[in-house]
Amino acid sequence: MLGYGFMLFFFVLNFVGIRLLSEVNRWVVLWKLVIPTLTFIFVFFAFRGSNYGSAVGGIAPLGASPIFGAVATTGIVFSFLGFRQALEYAGEARNPQRDVPRATIISVGIGIVLYTLLQVAFTGAIRWGELGVKVGDWSVLGTSKWATGPFYSELHAAGIGFLAGFAALLIWDAVISPAGTGYVYMGTSTRTFYGMSVQRLFPPGLQTMNQFSIPWPALIASILVGGLFFVRQPSWYSLVGFIMSTTVLTYVMGGAGLMALRRLAPTWRRPVRLPYPWVLSALSFIAATEVVYWSGFSVLVEVMTFVFISIAIYLMYYAPAKGFMSSTQGLTLGLVFVVAWVWIAAKGGWVLRSGTLPVHGSWTFGTYFAAFAVALMLVTVATWLLSNEEGRKHVQASWWFIFFAVAIFLLSYYGSLGANAKNPTVHFPYDYLIAAGIGLFAFLWAVRSAFETDELRELHVALAEGRPLAPVPEMEEAWTPLHGVGPATGGGATGS
């Protein structure tokens, strides 16, 4: 209930417009810079170089593979996701070519420096005796008595009076820092709903503006969907793992989409132009692929289940609205798919579980994966058969993503971060190389399969004739991303 209360507060902040949100965020960003900086400075007072020596296993005592797994599942990637907000608010920037790269690079750069120094300081200040664990037993830190407030506990254990006083401030930081993430994310998800409505993926009513030029129906949709996550996720850590994976999964669209538009609309004026697009797009696609893979099977099984159930939204709303198939056909096929998909998820026994094993008596993974893949194949083929010529183009252009998701999902089970990580079928680093190969192949397929949609044709004609583009309701007056979504607005919260 406290979480829902915070979401209501974030709703009000976003409802009254970007100016108030920007002003509030200015001070929160300052807090999120000052407190972590003071934290690593003070923690260095308790630093012990022996925590990096051979007595505790040296660097990477558990090997290299868990490092990459930690990037995806312990909040490291989530800590740097603040750069994305500068991109999602870019439509409201005064000078995108200048402001967007600057906001992105500065936010990531400051995050790297801050979080690296924090981790170096924290590792050096660990007191194994205070923890009550064997020196160098890194694997139990996550379940130790420090786990609920690591920096707070470490400063107290240092035995220095003023450090204990500062530790109390970290309790407030554990509220303020994630709150800054919360209201910014609600704003960006609102703009996501708005943009999807403009692209006719959702009803046009989501574009309705209030007196502050904020699409309030999209804001309501954002708080409703956000509230659903409280139902499933029992902790901040599991919530971050799920959100991070679904968020990074969308990053694969960026590189592929950029190169598809460079191919299909090469002459259009671009407010922001990226250099070396083929190289950077391919690398971004592969990087996103790796981070998704590093999430591990227990996270990906839920991500893939909830991502693909959105096929029903396509069938029941988008395809009939675009005239690809009749409403009756779309509704019928969508409902049949939902029932079958939920049944497969239940029989598989992995979904909606926090453990590393499926529900007792569930299908074997081979049976579950076969049903998973066959269901996707059947619904895709049925959609293609029921669609008109234009609809079939859309279905065919989606096959690369189905291949990509299914291939990564299968690899995640048998790889070094899978259900049998201690004795995997595909060992590190070969599974990482295979994931990179899957990503590169899917990237090239995605760019190659892109085609000129009705929307692109309409824009081509409008630009050729010098007509204004389709009207879009104006958002509030432009602002500079550095003021609204500044550095270190990711998910990091040093106090927690």
pLDDT digits (tens, 9 = 90+) for 283-294: 999 999 999 999
Confidence bin at 12 (pLDDT 50/70/90): confident
Confidence bin at 157 (pLDDT 50/70/90): confident
Q: What mean pLDDT is reported for the chain? A: 84
Count Cβ atoms within 10 A of the Cβ of residue 470 and give its class: 0-12 exposed, 13-18 middle, 19 or more buried.
Answer: exposed
Confidence bin at 475 (pLDDT 50/70/90): very low
Q: What is the pLDDT of residue 355?
A: 63
Beta-bridge partners for 209: 215
Q: What is the pLDDT of residue 232?
A: 64
Q: What is the pLDDT of residue 354?
A: 62
Q: Is the pLDDT of residue 460 over 60?
A: yes
Listed range (14-23, 449-458, 464-473) with the worst mean pLDDT: 464-473
Q: What is the pLDDT of residue 496?
A: 29
Evaluate whether 249 touches 292 at the Cβ level (below 8 Å).
Answer: yes
Q: What is the pLDDT of residue 259?
A: 95
pLDDT digits (tens, 9 = 90+) for 379-425: 999 999 999 999 999 999 999 999 999 999 999 999 998 888 888 99
Mean per-residue pLDDT, 40-50: 86
The b-or-e profile of 188-199 (16+ CB within 10 A means b, else e) is: bbbbbbbbbbbe
Q: Is the pLDDT of residue 233 over 70?
A: no
Confidence bin at 495 (pLDDT 50/70/90): very low
Q: Which amino acid is at 467?
A: R
Mean per-residue pLDDT, 253-268: 91
pLDDT digits (tens, 9 = 90+) for 190-203: 988 998 888 778 88
Residue with tokens 């998909």, as numbered in its chain: 341
Q: Which long-range contacts (CB under 8 A, 24 or more apart) does 240-243 make?
A: 240/75, 240/78, 240/491, 241/72, 241/73, 241/295, 241/299, 242/299, 242/302, 242/303, 243/78
Q: Is the pLDDT of residue 471 over 70?
A: no
What tokens does 55 get? 């007595």
Residue with tokens 């824009």, as numbered in its chain: 459
Q: Choose among 475, 433, 75: nearest CA to 247.
A: 75
The secondary structure of 64-119, three-state, reads CHHHHHHHHHCCHHHHCCHHHHHHHCHHHCCCHHHHHHHHHHHHHHHHHHHHHHHH
Mean per-residue pLDDT, 416-444: 93
Helices 277-294 and 65-73 cross at an angle (nearest 10°) of: 90
pLDDT digits (tens, 9 = 90+) for 113-138: 888 898 899 999 888 888 888 888 88
Q: Is the pLDDT of residue 161 over 80?
A: no
The CA angle 245-247-248, to the nearest 5 degrees, is 65
- What is the chain's Cα-based Rg? 24
Q: Is the pLDDT of residue 362 over 70?
A: yes
Q: Is the pLDDT of residue 480 over 90?
A: no
| Distance (Å, whole) CA 468 – CA 285 | 33
Confidence bin at 493 (pLDDT 50/70/90): very low
Listed range (9-23, 421-435, 443-457) with the worst mean pLDDT: 9-23
Q: What is the pLDDT of residue 4?
A: 87
> What does the DSSP 8-state code read for residue 215?
B
Count Cβ atoms within 10 A of the Cβ of residue 341 and give its class: 0-12 exposed, 13-18 middle, 19 or more buried.
Answer: buried
Q: Which residue intervals of 207-326 are DSSP H helices?
A: 216-232, 236-264, 277-294, 297-308, 311-313, 319-322
| Distance (Å, whole) CA 387 – CA 384 | 5
Cα dihedral 175, 179, 180, 181 sign: positive
Confidence bin at 245 (pLDDT 50/70/90): confident
Evaluate whether 222 touches 186 at the Cβ level (below 8 Å).
Answer: yes
Higher pLDDT, 264 or 84: 264
Q: What is the pLDDT of residue 486?
A: 37
Percent of all residues in the chain with a pLDDT value above 70, rounded to a whole number? 91
Evaluate whether 78 touches 238 at the Cβ level (below 8 Å).
Answer: no
Cα dihedral 190, 196, 202, 206 sign: positive
Mean per-residue pLDDT, 10-34: 80
Q: What is the pLDDT of residue 356?
A: 67
Q: Which long-range contacts (CB under 8 A, 24 or more apart) does 231-236 make?
A: 232/352, 234/354, 236/178, 236/496
Q: What is the pLDDT of residue 370?
A: 96
Evaluate whether 473 touches 158 at the Cβ level (below 8 Å).
Answer: no
Confidence bin at 470 (pLDDT 50/70/90): low
DSSP result, 151-210:
HHHHHHHTT-HHHHHHHHHHHHHHHHHHHHHHHHHHHHHHHHHHHHHHTTSS-GGGG-B-
Max mean pLDDT among 160-169, 292-301, 366-375 falls in: 366-375
